[in-house]
Amino acid sequence: MLHHMLKALFLSACLVCATVANAKTTLIELKIGGMIALGDLVVPEDGALKDSAVLITHGTLAHKDMELVESLQALLAERGIASLAHSLTFSQDRRTGMYDCAKPHMHAHEDAVVEIAAWADWLKTRGVKNISVLGHSRGGNQVAWFAAEKGGMEKVVLLAPALGLSGRVAAAIFKRRHGADILPHLKKASALKAQGKGDTLLDVPGFIYCKKGKATARAISSYYGEDARRNAIANIGKINVPVLVIAGTKDTAVPDVPKRIKPIADGKKVQLKMIEDADHMFLDFFVEDAADTIAEFLKKAE
């Protein structure tokens, strides 16, 4: 434990220095679906984007500049790995920071699959032949969906991934979180979507982490309706490249990851690595443990 505490102090003091001294960061703008999406390209100290990189997708309503993502990019660069972390647009132009809950929700869970594909294509046009993808939390669920549906990736890393909820479970969580029933709103949203009116805004008592506001019929249907494509376990089974799943032993956000991944983890195609005492965000020295595990996986010849 003392060793980990010393590592944490060293990491906190030197992470910014490492970002500047050992890597080159470039802000990238990419037009996707009429919106400008933002990404941070971080390459090792020689400053050259070579033939391999990892594409990083953040978690629920988050962004590329969150501490976990920035730390991972800096630490991977120290280990000689280039990365591109992007912020999902959530139907907003040049979005920064956490999602503003005062804004109406006009985004869908599956929009991320389109945006991940667009960023992967951007890397390919820059000569990157070997692209791996990494997703944290809900981003892990979306990355698994992307990798299963699109293919063509080198490797897949799922960091504390959301494994996918049925509509029934999502409704139960909604009721516990917001003290209201989503089902009447979902029924109305589904009917509007079937009529081709998915962009219709509806008043809702809550949406994901946000309190009451507005959301489109398409957004409500996407996040609270049934969709087998959100099943990360099924998607992992369709991925034809090596998959690494990383979980923290003290993660209370997605505590079922070890139990559900172990039956499919054969140590070859699917690997499960546990980080002792890490929670969902892998902050302080735990992010360094995660970076070590990821770098070893990405560099290992298959």
Judged by average pLDDT, the poorest of 40-44, 87-91, 175-179, 297-301 is: 297-301
pLDDT at residue number 221:
97
pLDDT in tens, 155-189: 999 999 999 988 889 999 999 999 999 999 999 99
Q: How confident is the model at residue 46 (pLDDT cuts 50, 70, 90)?
A: confident
Question: Looking at the chain, which residues constitute the CATH 3.40.50.1820 domain(s)?
Answer: 2-165+227-299
| Nearest residue to 55 via CA among 89, 77, 82 | 82
CATH 3.40.50.1820 fits 2-165+227-299, yes or no: yes
Q: What is the pTM of this model?
A: 0.92
pLDDT in tens, 109-124: 999 999 999 999 999 9
pLDDT at residue number 22:
66
